[in-house]
Amino acid sequence: KAGVTQTPRYLIKTRGQQVTLSCSPISGHRSVSWYQQTPGQGLQFLFEYFSETQRNKGNFPGRFSGRQFSNSRSEMNVSTLELGDSALYLCASSLVGFSSTDTQYFGPGTRLTVL
Amino acid sequence: AQSVTQLGSHVSVSEGALVLLRCNYSSSVPPYLFWYVQYPNQGLQLLLKYTSAATLVKGINGFEAEFKKSETSFHLTKPSAHMSDAAEYFCAVTADGNNRLAFGKGNQVVVIP
């Protein structure tokens, strides 16, 4: 079974631009979560989607948004990019995510650099 | 809200020696605890997880962890370090009904030949 895939793997943008990252979950998984990883703040939860609805949201500004499609694929968007948005963005999928016994499987991440 | 603390950002261990990574958690409800490993330029791979069954949890690559409620700990161990264990290790916690993982700061493990 194919794992979680994320595209693109690397992105370079300039301040003020916007960016869209894509995540395809493991087949059959319906929950998709996004995390931001930076050297200073570590791994931080952005949001989670299930059945095309945002179910959980972390403490990030409104410039960070996401959506999920009927096939469970998810995208996240960052508008008006700032230098501090440079990070590794990780996507994780799980079967349903209702139970904490459900395991989240991570993709390889998208490395975003903002210049 | 749940949180975890990992002390010592960098851990050096000799090849063949014991690997011990400490994780202490804070949770007002019964926690579910995870250890993930991250190799350079890769995502996170699950090593093991505690979900209230056995307190001693065995994972992949010879790692294991023990849940101790009285000490609010979930330390990760491996009896004998291998060069391939060089990576960053993250402890994470969540609670029932919530798929939101809270991660520790991570331990960068260096294996000395």
Q: Please say if the pLDDT value at position B82 is more than 90.
A: yes
Amino acid at A108: P
- The encoded tokens of residue B75 equal 């330390």
| Across A35-50, average pLDDT | 94
**Residue B36 near chain A (CB below 8 Å):** yes
CA B62 to chain centre: 13
Using DSSP's 3-state secondary structure scheme, residue A101 falls into coil
Chain A contact probe: residue of B27, B100, B103, B105 with most A CBs at under 10 A: B100
Q: Which residues contact A104 (CB under 8 A, 6 or more apart)?
A: A33, A92, A93, A94, A97, B46, B99, B101
Nearest Cβ partner for B51 among A58, A100, A106: A100
How many beta-carbon pairs below 8 A join chains A and B? 65
B23-70: pLDDT as tens digits: 999 988 888 899 999 998 889 999 999 987 789 999 999 999 999 999
The Cα of B27 is separated from the nearest Cα of chain A by a number of Å equal to 14
Amino acid at B4: V
What pLDDT score was predicted for residue B30? Answer: 82
Which residue in chain A is spatially nearest to B51 when comparing CA positions? A101
Q: Could you tell me if A70 and B67 are in contact, meaning their C-beta atoms sit under 8 angstroms apart? A: no
Please indicate whether, in this complex, the C-beta atoms of B46 and A103 are within 8 angstroms of each other: yes
B66-76: pLDDT as tens digits: 999 999 999 99
Phi, psi of A37 (to 5 degrees): -120, 120
- How far is it, in rounded angstroms, from Cα A78 to Cα A103? 27
Angle at B96 (CA atoms; ends A29, B32), nearest 5 degrees: 90
Which residue in chain A is spatially nearest to B90 when comparing CA positions? A43
